[in-house]
Amino acid sequence: MKTKFLIFALSLVCYTSFAQQDAQYTQYMYNTININPAYAGSRGVMSIFGLHRTQWVGLDGAPTTNAFSLNTPINDSNLGLGLSFVNDKIGPTSDNTISADLSYTINTSDTFKLSFGVKASGNFFNLDVNKLNPADPADDNLQPFDNEFSPNIGAGLYLHSDKMYFGLSVPNFLQDKKYNDNQYAVFQERMNFYAIGGYVFDISQDVKFKPAFLTKLVTGSPLQVDASANFLFMDKFMLGAAYRWDAAVSAMAGFQVTDGLFIGYGYDRETTNLRRFNSGSHEVFLRFELFNKVSKLVSPRFF
């Protein structure tokens, strides 16, 4: 049996793993491909996305996430393709996940489209015991994990128009345990159930308003609900605020530099007792889109 020290030393990992499971994003409305494979190709152009998130700044071992994705429609077909990579570090552990997404879209009306998506992914889990400080460094149970591989599959639905979107998804159907024996599992991947939605209101010719939400349900963890309100000015400047139920408040800003380049920033401040031990979380992203002569967004979108 693994030592009690190991369980205690990785308590931060256990807490964030069971509370978060999948990497957490404040600006989920721009990073939908990571949680819903049906999003692939839905913007009608090739979209390249990169994000860096530093969570709970000042707290040792706090999560750090880097995400990169590319998704695009396939020629003039109803198919969409997505590829993504996520690196998530928590304490002495590191997760690297590579995913491929395939979507199929049908027109349900003149305005709405419904997309079905599947996700195939491979996860590489690492545990660096050198970052621990055990009472007994010679404990044979303290074994490192180096790129332990586990495959997974997921699926999603995505209903969307130019003004609204609604999605349901489970990115990982298979549940996997890391560093476990008969009594303990330091990290256990559970199914994450997502529901997302948003609607764009035209306040005036130059101002758009979009409320949005994300809910995430993980077995054994509290329900996570994120609600946000975003304003887009002159199709260039975005300002918004969000609330993560019983967890954090957030501020967001973005700028459409060119037709194809969008830059965004988000800041979270904890509302729990954890706020006493960190100075907040920062998230920055870039989205670059490649247009062609036939397919071009009429105006920048929130999603």
Residue 246 above 90 pLDDT?
no
The residue among 303, 282, 278 whose CA lies nearest residue 60 is 278
> Average pLDDT for residues 187-213, to the nearest whole number?
90
117-137 pLDDT tens trace: 999 999 998 888 777 766 666
What is the enclosing helix (H) or strand (E) of 195? strand 192-199
pLDDT band of residue 139 (cuts 50, 70, 90) is low
Q: Is residue 12 part of a domain?
A: no
pLDDT at 128: 82
pTM for the whole structure: 0.85
CATH code, domain with 57:
2.40.160.40
Cα separation, 185 vs 9, in Å, equals 13
pLDDT band of residue 292 (cuts 50, 70, 90) is low
> Average pLDDT for residues 195-208, to the nearest whole number?
95
pLDDT band of residue 78 (cuts 50, 70, 90) is very high
Q: Is residue 274 part of a domain?
A: yes
Domain around 111: 19-290
Residue pointed to by tokens 């077909």? 77
Cα separation, 13 vs 19, in Å, equals 10
Of 92-101, 142-151, 293-302, which has the strongest mean pLDDT? 92-101
Q: Is residue 52 part of a domain?
A: yes
Q: Is residue 11 part of a domain?
A: no
Q: Is residue 249 part of a domain?
A: yes
Length of the chain: 303
Higher per-residue pLDDT: 185 or 129: 129
For the chain, the domain total comes to 1
Residue pointed to by tokens 């198919």? 79
Q: Is residue 4 part of a domain?
A: no
pLDDT at 291: 72
Cα separation, 187 vs 102, in Å, equals 29
pLDDT at 13: 43
23-73 pLDDT tens trace: 888 998 898 999 999 999 999 899 999 999 999 999 888 999 999 999 999
Residue 223 above 90 pLDDT?
no
3-state secondary structure of 58: coil
Q: Is residue 104 part of a domain?
A: yes
